[in-house]
Structure 1
Amino acid sequence: MAVSPELEGLRRIAPSRFVSFSFPNPFLGHASDPYGDGGGGGGAGERLRVAVLDSPLPSPPVPGTAAMLVPAGRHRDWIFSTRAGHLHLLLSIQFSRLILVGPELYVPSPRVIPCIARPDPDPAHARLRPLLLALCPIAAFRDNAVPDVPLLTFQDDLLLLSPVKFVAGPVVGEMVVEDVAIDNAPGPAELHRRLRFKRMPCLVQTQVRLCRSPAAAAASSSLVETLKGSGGFLQPEVGGSLVQPYLQAMVAGLAVIAPSIEESIQSGVRPRCLCAGVGGGSLPMSIRVGLQFSVLGVEADSVVLDVARNHFGLVEDEFLHVHVGDAIQMIEDFSRQRQPDIKFSAVMVDLDSSDAMCGVSAPPLEVIHGSILLAARTILDQHGVLILNVIPPPADGSVYKGLIDVLRQVFSELYEIDVGNGENFVLTATVSPIETALADNSGHFLTELRKLAGDFLEHIRKI
């Protein structure tokens, strides 16, 4: 049988190589079929899609290979159908090659997708084993040993997922708004609305809680029925508590200048905040509504702002303005103007890298530059802070250390919050030394801040 050059090349690891192909479905008519009626996917058909990705990181002498069954019904989700999603999955495990096996992309998904993982993949593993061994690189068979190819299970906190709208923007490209039911055990499930970009599908850009309308509550609809009719039944919770932990940690960074903000508020002057990156708008809305700041949000893509207004409850008023443009360029422009009335109490940077093939990382590398950080310092007032959401690139552990070193050169003091999810850190850099110990801070502002930031105020660490 002739083998295509692409598949022949899989005998060796080639960094970042991505290959996908169709393969006869070995589960067809068998009880172990993960995509049968019991799997929630409605069947996979006669052929499966097999996608193989090699890690961009250096391979060990005996490279490891792992496989994953795409969860039933989610084969068209960008996490499992794109190279960027596949790369994120691969970088989260310690293997040189990851094989994804699932239905072909033309197979339809249900309107509301159940997301509960099947408990026992072992029967499916046995039927896939010949294929998985054939896709292992030659180096994995060193000393005539037969490699173990584990079949991994994808798990997240979703119970149900329902896409609401797909749209494309001129800067970020394709994006999806989706309503989800989140497992909040031991409490009841929560309904959230999320925004994701195709270029980084594993990164949730925005997430807000959804409130059932009185009509939905009166009907006592099930979660599935509520999500099916989500367009009329569900509304985003506006200006409430932040859902995403890293946003709570970013807001917590304001605690280091709480006395200054308290004094400003008591004198009748609203503190000003520049949000570099708006997304769905949950961060600027919470700061404006919950903390009584005057907020300027800067977002590169006008379509993202339209999505924020139409689906996430972003409302502009005299104390919240959003601007379409390059946030980093705007910071530099403000710094060159050197106008006393353009001073901020806080600059919050929530921007991710645009290079999906580097894995999920934030902020963009151009932000980690002395001149940019100096420009940010210039537009802050005497007691201001720069707050950065940081996701160190998985392939380069030196970037985070380098960022800390540059921040120390530009700012007076530096504080860190480990968000605790294995990805995000929040760095808070101050223009001036902090005279009051964090433990001594009290007042109305801190009371309101705790409502948004929760326990993260207790996790602020000076570095």
Structure 2
Amino acid sequence: MALDIKSFETIISSRFLSFTIPSPTLATHLLRVAVLDSPIQLTDSPQVAALFVPQAREPDWIFSTESGHLQLLLSSPGISRLILIGNNPIDGSDSPPLTYHKRDDDQYVKSLENSLKPLFFALSPKVCVKDGIFNVPILDYEDNLICSVVLERRVGVFVGEMLVEDVEIESDSELRDFRRRLRFKRMPNLVQTEIRIVPEKGFGLDCVKIGGEVKFTPETKVLVHSYLIPMAASLSLIGSCIEDRVQNGLKPKALCLGVGGGALLGFLKTQLGFEVFGVEMDEEVLRVARQYFGLEDCEIQVCVGDAIEYVEKLGGKDRVPNLVSGEVNVDCYLDNANGFDTKFDVIMVDLDSCDARNGIIAPPSEFVKKHILLAARSILSDFGILVMNVISATGLLYDTLIHEFQEIFPELYEIDVGNGENFVLIAKVSPVLSPLSECENSFLRNLRIAISGKYLDSIRKI
């Protein structure tokens, strides 16, 4: 069916179209063109931008799915329409390639950019022509991926298709940096879990490669995922209270909503001495976490269930969780007779929204409803904190989120992760006069050793 060029005169919220055209540089090749209009009304003068897909990554969910395209658009402030151009995958696959090695795309982009200007013009509202000048900026897609290999693809009942991949990324030091990642197709641009992996003994870093014969093992003692480090840093706000609990022979307690690969849960238990409980919607995700990410080695207590429903029921004080170690128990709620203490010192929220069209990628909008926040507050100890990973497409949406929290919690803090996407929002049950000027104690010293000090020093009161 032929495209009606006139239809592109107007920005239509969330409209997504894709088609193929002959490559202007290689007659035997096809280019895939995908056009997405923003779901958010930005301005009366729409801005159109284009992005060239890195060669050999065309089948990656980031570039081949509407959800991936949407996240690319939302991470480009002020863009009303994003045009994606890449080589059409020969096999028609819409899954990430089994292996990938980075290549230099500069010449490839230059060879196409001028040839495709008439296409960009045709796909843009004519209001984009200002003073007789038409210009569509070409966005750069940059990440630190050097190479990758897919270990396994699985399908979860709730999260859908997911993949586990080993990658090598660019390193700031002379040492090579190998990671293991978990990604979901529904939010492909987000790395759900990332941990460091090390080659088995007897192999030096110089002689190994991803996808080779050398086996890698998870390193669970360090956090490398960009936003998990500041989430852990938030504990400095209650460091003295945690220290008092430890000195009295008690373990601090953490509830983690959203397990993923379990990196944060394992770190809290093994490095900071927490008693950790996790809630994960999808049983298949937990199987992946145990098989590939070392969750089983940490003996974390987990529950399969809806995290929001879990908090709501636990906050009702008429039900308590049955959290078991090593095996899944779908029935998370038992009678009060089992005597479980439901007060947590920290609740860590790492949940995505499943649908980013409202501009909030994380957390789900359902979690920030007043009755859920009240329930969360009710299961925190007197000095407890609620820590949440937030990814918002616009500052206005983030401000709205802050306002919702301020109606429930007396003090809010934030940490800018520094990647242009994530903020860590911290809500305290009880205000403190000088949370950042506490005297150093053994817990705070241990925390500073375990994570980057820059995040401990960048907590800002809102």
Q: TM-score range by the shorter chain?
A: 0.7 to 0.9
User: Structure 2: how far apart are the matches of 1:312 and 1:376?
Assistant: 28
Unaligned runs of 5+ in 2: 319-335
Contact 1:52 1:98 in 2 (8 A): yes
Contact 2:75 2:421 in 1 (8 A): no
- How far 1:193 moved relative to its partner? 0.8
Contact 1:115 1:161 in 2 (8 A): no
Q: Deviations over 1:10-43 (max 9, x none)?
A: 24322211111111121217xxxxxxxxxxxxxx
Contact 2:360 2:397 in 1 (8 A): no
Instruction: Report what 2:149 is aligned to.
Output: 162
- How far 1:295 moved relative to its partner? 0.4
Contact 2:257 2:280 in 1 (8 A): yes
Contact 2:374 2:408 in 1 (8 A): yes
Secondary structure of the 1:420 match is coil
User: Structure 2: how far apart are the matches of 1:402 and 1:92?
Assistant: 19
Unaligned runs of 5+ in 1: 30-44
Instruction: Report what 2:114 is aligned to.
Output: 126
Which has a greater percent of helix?
1
Residue 445 in 1 paired to residue 443 in 2? Answer: yes
Structure 1 18/193 Cα, relative in aligned 2: closer, same or farther at 3 Å? Answer: same
Instruction: Report what 1:50 is aligned to.
Output: 33
Instruction: Give aligned pairs, total.
Output: 436
**Aligned-partner residue type, residue 137 of structure 1:** P
User: Structure 2: how far apart are the matches of 1:280 and 1:158?
Assistant: 20
Which piece of structure 1 moves more, 290-299 or 325-334?
Answer: 325-334
Residue 102 in 1 paired to residue 83 in 2? Answer: no
**Aligned-partner residue type, residue 133 of structure 1:** F
Contact 1:62 1:142 in 2 (8 A): no
Instruction: Report what 1:36 is aligned to.
Output: none
Instruction: Report what 1:389 is aligned to.
Output: 389
User: Structure 2: how far apart are the matches of 1:62 and 1:443?
Assistant: 55
Residue 462 in 1 paired to residue 461 in 2? Answer: yes
Q: Choose which of 45, 52, 58 in structure 2 pairs with 1:69.
A: 52
Structure 1 174/252 Cα, relative in aligned 2: closer, same or farther at 3 Å? Answer: same
Contact 1:258 1:445 in 2 (8 A): yes
Contact 2:258 2:278 in 1 (8 A): yes
Contact 1:52 1:97 in 2 (8 A): yes
Q: Deviations over 1:279-325 (max 9, x none)?
A: 1100000000000111000001111111111111112666x201110
Contact 1:61 1:139 in 2 (8 A): no
Secondary structure of the 1:291 match is coil
Secondary structure of the 1:258 match is helix
Pairing of 1:337-352 with structure 2 (within 5 A): 337=317, 341-352=341-352
- How far 1:186 moved relative to its partner? 4.5
Q: Deviations over 1:147-177 (max 9, x none)?
A: 1223333111111122222111111111111
Residue 299 in 1 paired to residue 286 in 2? Answer: no
**Aligned-partner residue type, residue 426 of structure 1:** V
Structure 1 192/89 Cα, relative in aligned 2: closer, same or farther at 3 Å? Answer: same
Structure 1 72/366 Cα, relative in aligned 2: closer, same or farther at 3 Å? Answer: same
Q: Deviations over 1:224-250 (max 9, x none)?
A: xx21227x5211112x12112311111
User: Structure 1: how far apart are the matches of 2:210 and 2:128?
Assistant: 46
Instruction: Report what 2:239 is aligned to.
Output: 258
Structure 1 368/61 Cα, relative in aligned 2: closer, same or farther at 3 Å? Answer: closer
User: Structure 2: how far apart are the matches of 1:450 and 1:114?
Assistant: 36
- How far 1:146 moved relative to its partner? 4.8
Instruction: Report what 2:324 is aligned to.
Output: none
Structure 1 441/370 Cα, relative in aligned 2: closer, same or farther at 3 Å? Answer: farther
- How far 1:138 moved relative to its partner? 3.4
User: Structure 2: how far apart are the matches of 1:57 and 1:117?
Assistant: 34
Contact 2:35 2:81 in 1 (8 A): yes
User: Structure 1: how far apart are the matches of 2:460 and 2:281?
Assistant: 32
Q: Deviations over 1:418-463 (max 9, x none)?
A: 2222222212222223255422231111122113332211111222
Secondary structure of the 1:376 match is helix
Instruction: Report what 1:406 is aligned to.
Output: 404
Pairing of 1:365-384 with structure 2 (within 5 A): 365-384=365-384
Coordinate RMSD, CA, aligned: 2.4
User: Structure 2: how far apart are the matches of 1:317 and 1:52?
Assistant: 45
User: Structure 2: how far apart are the matches of 1:407 and 1:80?
Assistant: 35
Instruction: Report what 2:248 is aligned to.
Output: 267
TM-score by length of 2: 0.87
Instruction: Report what 2:188 is aligned to.
Output: 201
**Aligned-partner residue type, residue 87 of structure 2:** P
User: Structure 1: how far apart are the matches of 2:176 and 2:429?
Assistant: 42
Instruction: Report what 2:175 is aligned to.
Output: 188
Structure 1 131/193 Cα, relative in aligned 2: closer, same or farther at 3 Å? Answer: same
Contact 1:163 1:176 in 2 (8 A): yes
Secondary structure of the 2:241 match is helix
Instruction: Report what 1:35 is aligned to.
Output: none
User: Structure 2: how far apart are the matches of 1:282 and 1:301?
Assistant: 16
Q: Choose which of 127, 142, 156 in structure 2 pairs with 1:139.
A: 127
Structure 1 78/6 Cα, relative in aligned 2: closer, same or farther at 3 Å? Answer: farther
Instruction: Report what 1:221 is aligned to.
Output: 207
Contact 1:74 1:80 in 2 (8 A): yes
Contact 1:258 1:441 in 2 (8 A): no
Instruction: Report what 2:217 is aligned to.
Output: 235
Q: Deviations over 1:300-356 (max 9, x none)?
A: 1111111111111112666x2011101121112222226672211111111111113
TM-score by length of 1: 0.87
**Aligned-partner residue type, residue 310 of structure 2:** M
User: Structure 2: how far apart are the matches of 1:162 and 1:13?
Assistant: 38
